[in-house]
Amino acid sequence: MDIKTILKQIYHGRKTIYYALAVAFVLAVFVVILTPRKYDTKVLLLAESNARSGTSGLLGQLGSMSGMNIGSLLGLNLGGSSSNDALTSDLYPDVVKSTPFLLDVMQQKITDSKNHKTMTVSEYLRKYSRPSPAGLPGYLFRKIIGENDHNKEVKSFKKGVIKLSKEQSDLLKTLSEMIQVEIQHQGNKLLKRRSKIFSVSVEAQDPLVSALLADSVVSCLKRYVVNYNTRKAQKDLNFIKAQFLDAQQNFYATQKALADYSDSNSNVILASVNIQRERLQKEYNLSASVYTSLAQLLEKAKIQVQDHTPVLTVIQPPVVPLKKSAPKTTLIIIEMLLVGGFIGFSIELIKIMLHPPDNG
Give dist(CA 190, CA 188) in Å, integer. 5
pLDDT of 267: 67
Reduced to 3 states (helix: H, G, I; strand: E, B; else coil), residue 46 is strand
More confident residue, 52 or 29: 29
Give dist(CA 48, CA 3) in Å, integer. 65
- Give percent of the chain above pLDDT 90: 31
Confidence of residue 278 (pLDDT cuts 50, 70, 90): confident
pLDDT of 285: 92
65, pLDDT greater than 80:
no
pLDDT of 50: 56
Residue ranges of the domains in the chain? 1-35+327-360, 42-51+89-230, 56-85+231-307
Residues 131, 135, 136, 142: what is their CA dihedral angle, to the nearest 10 degrees?
-90
pLDDT of 47: 83
Q: Among the ranges 27-36, 263-272, 331-340, 351-360, which has the highest mean pLDDT value? A: 331-340
Give dist(CA 336, CA 26) in Å, integer. 9
83, pLDDT greater than 80:
no
Is the distance from CB of 78 to CB of 71 less than 8 angstroms? yes
Range with the poorest average pLDDT among 101-115, 149-163, 311-325? 149-163
Positive or negative torsion for Cα 122, 127, 132, 134: positive
Using CA atoms, how far residue 64 sits from 59, 72, 150, 156, 315, in Å, is 11, 13, 59, 46, 43
Give dist(CA 244, CA 239) in Å, integer. 9
Is residue 327 reached through a cis peptide bond, with omega within 30 degrees of 0 on the bond before it? yes
Nearest Cα neighbor of 306 from 46, 52, 87 is: 52
Average pLDDT over residues 227-248: 90
Give the 3-state secondary structure of 156-192. ECHHHCEECCHHHHHHHHHHHHHEEEEEEEECCCCCC
Give dist(CA 109, CA 231) in Å, integer. 27
Q: Which residues of 109-129 are buried (b: 16+ CB within 10 A; e: fewer)?
A: ebebeeeeeebebbbbbbebb
Average pLDDT over residues 16-45: 89
Reduced to 3 states (helix: H, G, I; strand: E, B; else coil), residue 129 is coil
pLDDT one-digit tens code per residue, 166-175: 888 889 999 9
Q: What is the DSSP letter of 60?
A: G
pLDDT one-digit tens code per residue, 221-230: 999 988 888 8
Give dist(CA 108, CA 204) in Å, integer. 15
> pLDDT averaged over the chain?
80
pLDDT of 115: 81
Bridge partners of residue 163, in order along the sequence: 155
Average pLDDT over residues 141-163: 59
Range with the poorest average pLDDT among 64-78, 122-136, 156-170, 200-214? 64-78
Burial, 76: exposed, middle or buried (Cβ in 10 Å; 0-12, 13-18, 19+)? middle
Average pLDDT over residues 234-258: 92
Bridge partners of residue 185, in order along the sequence: 197
Q: Could you tell me which residues come within 8 angstroms of residue 305 by beta carbon, excluding any fewer than 6 positions away?
A: 230, 233, 234, 237
pLDDT of 217: 95
pLDDT of 141: 59
Give dist(CA 291, CA 288) in Å, integer. 5
pLDDT of 77: 47
Give dist(CA 20, CA 339) in Å, integer. 9
Q: Following DSSP, what letter does each residue of 315-357 receive, concatenated?
A: EE-----SS--B--HHHHHHHHHHHHHHHHHHHHHHHHHHSPP
More confident residue, 49 or 292: 292
